[in-house]
Structure 1
């Protein structure tokens, strides 16, 4: 669901007025006070690149096949290996992400610009690992044991460091290349950009260039319009929610960790109220900490 963070970032934006009028929406403000977002997949035009920055060099993928039988979903393991073209595209996309991340000029809490060098390392990677280390430390302090912590250096009950590649191999790659703009137009993200005549479209240059089918490319204006970061970086056109609670599981393989971290850091750099955490061992899921969520909502309402 891409709508939660988009709505929170694009309040009263004129881009949507025509479509809202066409469906008979009430002529009223759509300002949002606060946003709760679980596993926020967004920023689709850069999501493939972010995924390969994270998983480049890990060529085996592990997902699930879903079959519907008698109205019920049945899941079975589905595994594979990247082919040679996918490996090449993985490296291309990784390099794209490095350039993209450096162009954002995001700052860490110390005020330093977040960057990556040509091999994809730097203080942005360090920040990503800090979030994961904090997640593991929180789990330890709850009295819970960590499974297979060979990727963690734990001393006297404190998580000192995390081995990045070892951790990624532990949680495993889930998706082929590209992760979102599928070359065969088979992903839900391709359908997202479809219309009444064309079911699915590509939305990146690489997806279009290497497409396995004759395909149309999505309207760039639409691709831009559904990315909340574009509103956050152009604040004059939208009213943005002032309070954000974002949760992204530390074992979530559906999108790169970079995607929610960029969103959270952008909001933080705007001096908005941001509560961001990566719960340990949580996959792509939500609503697992409702008591904490309700407490957060209560605190905002009382302040208001």
Structure 2
């Protein structure tokens, strides 16, 4: 099978351990609000260090493009998925001194004397792609193609692509053999594998180039979510037993703890915060709709309303802040929780997005947004600088190719079913009438109730929390389960109700995985907010990445804007506003959305801005 690389860079994971020259020792680099890793002791774990040592006599050399690379490297000593838990490392040739072997491979040593794009073997950033649309499996690289990594090599970066396990019925585990697959999948194994791959590089830090404290991960959709999870959950003890299960590098050659904290995370349209994603979706979009299974007099319509109300209760406990203002929701006259400082903040965020688009787009403007299920490709062309993504797997696509001669023509088209957005040419500001109209006319729901933990377990996220055998698809939303239990007498009077819903959720939520971990803990492990908000017990129990870049297509119906907004607000409170680059991109859907330029180039520029030459 032809291998496709993510040509976008995930937030670079911080490498720890011994290094070349003046490499920073990440063992002592910890989040001031998090875990002091110098005090971490790994007990009762016999690490197979010899199996984790990289063989520097097996490198291959692309003489035309000056790249050393090595594939088929097992990054753990006890792989559960032997063909998946491998990685490839791609290095600008200047960072190595190589001697050709009789079999055509090369034996290398680190060379700190030369530079590429201002970086040396001591200072080069390291990037990890997370190409896991819909939390799918990322295959380990089996072949080399320079075109997939060329931008990163020219930038002087080191590119590490690791195979990562995915949801229960993703690549390598199709429905026909889901009950007999040989390894565990879903939460938390994908991020566990990513952490193990990061730890492997740090374990071999003295034999490899790159600044091991400057690792960045990057991904889109489910990959964006896992990039964010890796960024938020650094050094979380919840992952220890999973890492030990697969034989990960927990300590360096001197017995000191190896950190899996990363320096930065890049996420496009992250499908995350799944504990409240169903409620968030209904609060922003679903509660205003009457189509699909949200028809009047249906159980699902009432469930949508109840989920939206429950979200307000949750939001008000998060204590999210905008400066000194604690954001909250209050009840409007119609009984919906759509007023308050949080609603005003979100409305302004939407208007800012529209304003930036209208102020920076030249007309005629050709709309050309392509969407994919899981991975996106797009960005308007014509008068506006393109926001094209790099090479990605091709999946379901939906395209719009309208051309608007003037801004007025564009706004007229947006308002064709009702006026909801205007533009003041004097102040150069866009305005929307309400969050309701925004959802009604522009950001419409594309998923039924419930959007993520489907009532019939038919969403990809149900597979994320599935386990082996017959439990490959499971319910996971405790808030939704509570509503079904508390309101079953009312729901039973409405169309679409099934009395089995209550028991199916109740039973699934009691299931544990192979290591005996509960559903609630597995949910926490895959929820960035668990580590970022003091609403959750995980706050302060991880080392959070120092730098973040988040982009989302504002028109997507795949997830709620408030989910991504909450993530950015919590991050700003935790690591500082200057270290969180968050933008919503107007006229873009579930894509690797950018307000201008190319997603690869923008990611590289962001990493460069952090790592001054």
Report the TM-score when normalising by structure 1. 0.87
Counterpart in 1 of 2:230?
7
> In 2, Cα distance between the equivalents of 1:160 and 1:283?
19
* Residue deviations 1:195-233 (CA, integer Å, cap 9, x gap): 113111111232484754845125111112211111113
Which SS does the other structure have where 1:244 is aligned?
strand
Identify which of structures 1 and 2 has the higher relative contact order when contacts are C-alpha pairs closer than 8 Å and 6+ apart.
1
* More displaced 10-residue stretch of structure 1: 158-167 or 9-18: 158-167
**Does 2:475 align with 1:165?**
no
> In 2, Cα distance between the equivalents of 1:235 and 1:169?
36
**Does 2:424 align with 1:155?**
yes
Counterpart in 1 of 2:508?
216
Counterpart in 2 of 1:117?
330
530, 552, 567: which one aligns with 1:230: 530
Rate the CA distance shift 1:239–1:88 in 2: closer, same or farther, 3 A: same
Contact 2:328 2:342 in 1 (8 A): yes
Contact 2:294 2:304 in 1 (8 A): no
**Does 2:546 align with 1:265?**
no
Counterpart in 2 of 1:59?
290
Which SS does the other structure have where 2:283 is aligned?
helix
Counterpart in 2 of 1:250?
554
Counterpart in 2 of 1:297?
607
Larger of the two Rg values belongs to structure: 2
Which SS does the other structure have where 1:8 is aligned?
helix
Which SS does the other structure have where 1:252 is aligned?
coil
> In 2, Cα distance between the equivalents of 1:236 and 1:154?
43
Contact 2:551 2:593 in 1 (8 A): no
> In 1, Cα distance between the equivalents of 2:461 and 2:539?
26
Counterpart in 2 of 1:99?
313
26, 34, 37: which one aligns with 2:264: 34
> In 2, Cα distance between the equivalents of 1:31 and 1:251?
32
Shift, 1:6, TM fit: 0.5
Counterpart in 2 of 1:240?
544
**Does 2:573 align with 1:278?**
no
**Does 2:258 align with 1:23?**
no
> In 1, Cα distance between the equivalents of 2:312 and 2:421?
26
Contact 1:181 1:207 in 2 (8 A): no
Number of aligned residue pairs: give it: 283
Shift, 1:235, TM fit: 4.2
1:202-213 matches, cutoff 5 A: 202-205=475-478, 206-207=480-481, 209=484, 212=501
Which SS does the other structure have where 2:549 is aligned?
strand
Counterpart in 2 of 1:65?
none
> In 1, Cα distance between the equivalents of 2:574 and 2:524?
20
* More displaced 10-residue stretch of structure 1: 260-269 or 140-149: 140-149
Counterpart in 2 of 1:67?
none
129, 136, 140: which one aligns with 2:354: 136
> In 1, Cα distance between the equivalents of 2:358 and 2:431?
14
Which SS does the other structure have where 1:270 is aligned?
helix
Rate the CA distance shift 1:287–1:134 in 2: closer, same or farther, 3 A: closer
Rate the CA distance shift 1:277–1:287 in 2: closer, same or farther, 3 A: closer
Which structure carries more helix by proportion? 1
> In 2, Cα distance between the equivalents of 1:26 and 1:269?
32
Shift, 1:53, TM fit: 0.8
Shift, 1:12, TM fit: 1.0
Contact 1:254 1:284 in 2 (8 A): yes
Counterpart in 2 of 1:200?
473
Contact 2:264 2:546 in 1 (8 A): yes
> In 2, Cα distance between the equivalents of 1:19 and 1:117?
42
**Does 2:457 align with 1:185?**
yes
Shift, 1:30, TM fit: 0.9
CA RMSD of the aligned region, Å?
Answer: 2.0
